[in-house]
Amino acid sequence: MVLYWTMPTDTNPIFNLDTIVIVGPGLLGGSVALGLKAAGHTGKVIGVARSQSTLDIAIQVGCIDQGTTDLVEAAKQADLILLATPLKTFRDVMGQIADHLKPGCIITDVGSTKSSVLIDAHEQLKPEQLKYLVPSHPMAGSETQGPAGASAQMLQTRPCIVTPLDQSDPKTVAEIKDMWDRIGMQVIEMTPQQHDEHSAVISHLPHLLNVMLVQTAMEMGGMEMASTGFKGATRLASSNPTIRSDILTCNRTAILRVIEGFEKVLAKMKNKIDKDDRQGLLDDLNQAMDFRNHWVNQFDHRGESGKTDM
Amino acid sequence: MVLYWTMPTDTNPIFNLDTIVIVGPGLLGGSVALGLKAAGHTGKVIGVARSQSTLDIAIQVGCIDQGTTDLVEAAKQADLILLATPLKTFRDVMGQIADHLKPGCIITDVGSTKSSVLIDAHEQLKPEQLKYLVPSHPMAGSETQGPAGASAQMLQTRPCIVTPLDQSDPKTVAEIKDMWDRIGMQVIEMTPQQHDEHSAVISHLPHLLNVMLVQTAMEMGGMEMASTGFKGATRLASSNPTIRSDILTCNRTAILRVIEGFEKVLAKMKNKIDKDDRQGLLDDLNQAMDFRNHWVNQFDHRGESGKTDM
């Protein structure tokens, strides 16, 4: 059974909106645009980017119908505006559009941290605009960057976290949740704080560990022996440094707390290796393997159950 | 140009040996057996395992021609014996076979640590047997276990470290290196100590980080948001706990030294996040990305150059 939130099927007004504006039609923004089209949006999609070449590629790939480098001009026409630029630019983008949005324009985003979006929005947007803001975090990505790699497929069966504000309009929240659901994502609602703590654990710490593993190899050597295991264990170190350093800034507090949690885990592990506690180590490895295998099994079957539902 | 060590092509006597014995025809041992056949070995391959079901699967997959649970019986017939059981069993296996090997029987292994193999060999084998011992570490693997997943393909273009002893017979060393080369691996010679330090960096630390990331998530939560990034960053936590805990014991000293190196990297990273040193963080991420991308580019092209050579 599919729960379409509180909405009857086939009537989500978002898919009938005339103009959707994607600020930053890159890998993720472009994929959302393609997902909207695939899910039935027939209106116009305008992309806003700083460089014309990004817009040209986004048009070529079919993410957007038209492109402009003029944010304000695009914002004036928007019925829904999706922020998909690096996190650090959100404050500036919101400041630029606040005086130009149509009343009732829906605002959402794909930012990887959510407390920072809330702070930016409270500072930059008008109180009546906050009603139509529904921050979101579609959790999907790949090693590639830019609209050339965009695909609706990339979002399928992946989690999308939605973090409504206290003052968010319930109808708009339902519409946005339904939008992500129809794009094919697994919608989960939580508070911005929960989102940030959890994503520090399952996304920002993994990235940092991948980077620090590379740094350790840079310091200590051994690359002539590196193979597929090392390649996989450092994959996230090749993700966009600008986006990633923005996240480290925007989610600083939660990340530091999670690093402290990791340091405790590391100290225990090191102690067991130092003491040659074979049974303790074997128990730890078995427990971690079982926990991961159980999760992977659930995760890999999400796609199949999704298909049955649809 | 292919450098066949100091040997003329087509005359490596290993491929003409009557009987090769694989002790532990699992994923890696079985793959080596398949690789030997694919590279032209026409003699008999005997597998030794504790359980008949492993032997049955290994025969079914075509890794071995016959199987036995009697190590000594098999060792008596061996012209070359390959140890592919868990590291902790090497001492016992060597102790059992030492009195029964034919003079001049070549001994090699696939163990993930090499100083420990050296210690075991000096304790258990006879001085004249050490002459024909050439410890090896073919660096390949997968998430699966057991002979069912064995394939010659798995070894292709992967590094194989060879760590001869001071007393190793140069002709045997050349033959073993040529054997791995013909199986399709990239042969690298180094000392056991170099091997162990480097593999702690590029193999054992990655595994521990994957495990400790899972443990952090078990402590701090967030799994409902976990996606492909987390899945990839924890892949090694699903590798065989028995084999992995053996490695932690057998390579304890080098691993502890590498953990200390990692702790220094972590302290620097944490400090930069704490101080919100945006430029420092961006520089670090860029440097790590460039280092990894450069290596991945070389690594991914190994296969192609290998094919050209053959």
Residue-wise pLDDT tens digits, B30-82: 999 999 999 999 999 999 999 999 999 999 999 999 999 999 999 999 999 99
Q: Residue A40: helix, strand or coil by DSSP?
A: coil
**Alpha carbon of A286: minimum distance to chain B alpha carbons (Å):** 6
Please tell me the predicted confidence (pLDDT) of residue A36.
Answer: 97
Contact across the interface for B220 and A201, Cβ inside 8 Å: yes
If one counts every other C-beta atom within 10 angstroms of the C-beta of residue B62, the result is 14
Please tell me the predicted confidence (pLDDT) of residue B142.
Answer: 66
Residues 148-167 of B with CB under 8 A from A: 158-159, 161
Please tell me the predicted confidence (pLDDT) of residue A307.
Answer: 36
Select from B225, B236, B255 the Cβ nearest to the Cβ of A273.
B255
pLDDT greater than 60 at residue B8: no
**Distance (Å, rounded) from C-alpha B243 to C-alpha B245?**
6
pLDDT greater than 60 at residue B210: yes
CATH fit for domain B195-275, picks 3.30.1300.10, 1.10.3720.10, 1.10.3660.10, 3.40.47.10: 1.10.3660.10
Angstrom distances, CA of residue B16 to CA of A205, B25, B54: 52, 20, 26
Contact across the interface for B197 and A222, Cβ inside 8 Å: yes
Please check whether residue B116 is in contact with residue B144, taking contact to mean a CB–CB distance below 8 angstroms.
Answer: no
Please check whether residue A12 is in contact with residue A39, taking contact to mean a CB–CB distance below 8 angstroms.
Answer: no
In chain B, at which residue ranges do the beta strands (DSSP E only) sit?
19-23, 44-48, 66-68, 80-83, 106-109, 136-138, 159-162, 186-189
The domain locations on chain A are: 13-190, 195-275
Q: Which residue of A has its CA nearest to B253?
A: A274
**Distance (Å, rounded) from C-alpha B291 to C-alpha B241?**
30
Instruction: Name the packing angle between helices B252-274 and B278-309 (round to 10°).
Output: 140
Looking at this predicted complex, what is its ipTM? Answer: 0.76
Going across the sheet that includes A80-83, the strands are A66-68, A44-48, A19-23, A80-83, A106-109
Ranges of residues in chain A whose predicted pLDDT is under 70: 1-10, 142-143, 303-310
Q: Residue B165: helix, strand or coil by DSSP?
A: coil
CA max distance for chain A: 66
Please tell me the predicted confidence (pLDDT) of residue A310.
Answer: 25
Region B218-229: what's the mean pLDDT? 91
**Distance (Å, rounded) from C-alpha B79 to C-alpha B14?**
9
**Alpha carbon of B103: minimum distance to chain A alpha carbons (Å):** 33
Residues 52-111 of B with CB under 8 A from A: none
CATH architecture assignment, domain B13-190: 3-Layer(aba) Sandwich (3.40)
Please tell me the predicted confidence (pLDDT) of residue A301.
Answer: 83
Select from B212, B295, B299 the Cβ nearest to the Cβ of A262.
B212
**Distance (Å, rounded) from C-alpha B241 to C-alpha B247?**
10
**Distance (Å, rounded) from C-alpha B230 to C-alpha B134?**
39
- To the nearest whole number, what is the mean pLDDT of chain B? 92
pLDDT greater than 90 at residue B160: yes
Please check whether residue A25 is in contact with residue A47, taking contact to mean a CB–CB distance below 8 angstroms.
Answer: yes
- What's the pLDDT tens digit per position in A139-170? 887 667 789 999 999 999 888 999 999 999 99
Name the band, by pLDDT with cuts 50, 70 and 90, for residue B297.
very high
How many CB contacts within 8 angstroms connect chain A with chain B?
267
If one counts every other C-beta atom within 10 angstroms of the C-beta of residue B283, the result is 14
Please tell me the predicted confidence (pLDDT) of residue A286.
Answer: 98
pLDDT greater than 50 at residue B4: no
**Alpha carbon of B183: minimum distance to chain A alpha carbons (Å):** 17
pLDDT greater than 80 at residue B143: no
